[in-house]
Amino acid sequence: MPDPTAADSAGARPRVLHLISDERRGGAQNFARDLHRELRRRGQASALCALAPHPAVPPARPGAGTTGVCTAGTAVPGTCGEGCPDTARLRAAAVLGPGRLRPSTLWALRSAARAADVVLAHGSDTLAACALALAGTPTPFVYVSVGHPRYWTANRLRRLRGAALMHRAAAVTTLTDEARAVLEEQFELPGGKVRVIPNSRAAESYPPADGRDDRRAARHALGLPADVLLVAWIGAIAPEKRFDLALDVLDRLPDVRMAVAGDGPLLETLARHPAAARAHFLGPLPDPAPLYRAADALLLTSDSEGVPGALIEAALAGVPAVATDVGWVREVVRDGATGALVAPGDPLALAEALAKVLACNRAGLGAAARAHALEHFELGAVVDDWQRLVAEVWRGGPPS
C-alpha cells in the first residue's frame, strides 16, 4: 500500500472535514482544532465546522455572516473579517445550523461534506448527525470516540442506538485497547473497524507559565486574585463531572480559591453551595491555556472519563493534577509522580490529596507531568496514524 502521508499519483491528498458539536472548548473540540491545524501545517486540505452555536457564544450581527470556526482553527463570532486569509473559506467551516440535529443543520452538513473526501466526527452528537446527514452520499465518515464506552453501554437502549449509528461509520477510533474491546463486543463491530489512536494535544498550544510574573499576568488577565493558592476546574457542569464534589473539596480547604471554566445544567443550583463564594466562575473560555498558566493545580472530580483532554493540556502546561481514578485517567496522572489519584465520590480524600499536592514541590510535579505528556500525548506522535486512517478510508476503508 502506498504511503498515505504522501501525494498519490494525481498529486492529491484526501480533503478532511472536522465536525464538532458546537464552539465550546471541550475535550473533543480542542482535539479537533489541534488536529485540524496540524494537518494543514502538513499541507493536507482540512476544514472545521460546528453543528450548532453554543449558548455562551454571541450570535452573529445581522448581515455580518455566519457565526463560525475559522479554518485556521479559531472560534469567531460573525466572520473573520476581510483581512483574514480564511474569509473566503469561512462558510465551509461555519456553524451549520441552529441546533445539532435540526433538519436545516443536517442539510447544511450534507452540503458541506460534498467538498470533503472524509469527515471526522468528533463527539457523540456528531455521530448521529453524520449517520443521518451522510446517508446515501459518497462521503465516508470516521467517528472519533473520546469517552469511556461503558458509559455509552449502560442500558440496552443506548447499546441499540450506538450500534445503529456506529455501523454507519466507515471506521471508529478510540483511545485504548480496552475501549476497543468494549466497542467491538457491545456494538458487535467487525474486526478492524475500531482503531486505537491515543488522545493527544499540540504542546505549543499549552505553554507552561514562564515564572511567577507570567503566572500573575495570566491571573490578572482572567480577573483572578494574584497571591492565593488557585486550583482550576475545567469541564461541563453536568452530573457525571461531579462539580458538587469540587465544591465540597473547596469547602474543606479555606485557604484555596478555585477558578471554574465551563457551564452546564447544574450551574445555577451549585452556585448556591457555601463554598461557591471562593470560586471564580469564568464561563466557557475561548482558550483554556491562560487558565493553566494561572493555576497551581488542576482538579478533576468526574465519575466517568476516557482519557481526559484537560489532564493532558494541564500536564503540557506543567500543572500537576488531582483526579478521580476513573476510566484511563491513570495513563495521564501518575500517582505521586505527576499528581494524585483518588477513588471517585470521596470529597475528603480529594481534599487531602489536593492539600498535599499544593503543599509539596508543585514545580517538580508539574515538570514531571509535562515530561510524561510530551512523551506519550504530544499530537505530532499520532498525526501519522490519523493520516494513514484517513487515506485508508478514502481509498475504500476498513470493513463496514
pLDDT (tens digit per residue) in 316-342: 999 999 999 998 999 999 999 999 999
**Confidence (pLDDT) at 396:** 84
What cell was used for 127? 455521530
Out of 27-36, 65-74, 155-164, 289-298, pick the least confident: 65-74
**Confidence (pLDDT) at 75:** 35
Q: What digits encode the pLDDT tens for the residues 242-282?
A: 999 999 999 999 999 999 999 889 999 999 999 999 999 99
Stretch (H or E) spanning 69: strand 68-69
274 φ/ψ angles, rounded to the nearest 5 degrees: -55, -35
Q: What's the rounded Cα separation, in Å, for the pair 366 and 158? A: 39
Give me the mean pLDDT over the 88-115 stretch: 80
**Confidence (pLDDT) at 82:** 31
**Confidence (pLDDT) at 329:** 95
Out of 158-162, 301-305, 379-383, pick the least confident: 158-162
pLDDT interval class at 284 (50, 70, 90): confident
Residue with the bigger pLDDT between 280 and 150: it is: 280
**Confidence (pLDDT) at 64:** 34
Give the predicted TM-score (pTM) of the model.
Answer: 0.78
Give me the mean pLDDT over the 77-101 stretch: 51
95 DSSP 8-state letter: B
If DSSP states are collapsed to H, E and C, what string results for 139-179? CCEEEECCCCHHHHCCCHHHHHHHHHHHCCCCEEEECCHHH
Contact (Cβ atoms closer than 8 angstroms) between residue 361 and residue 350: no
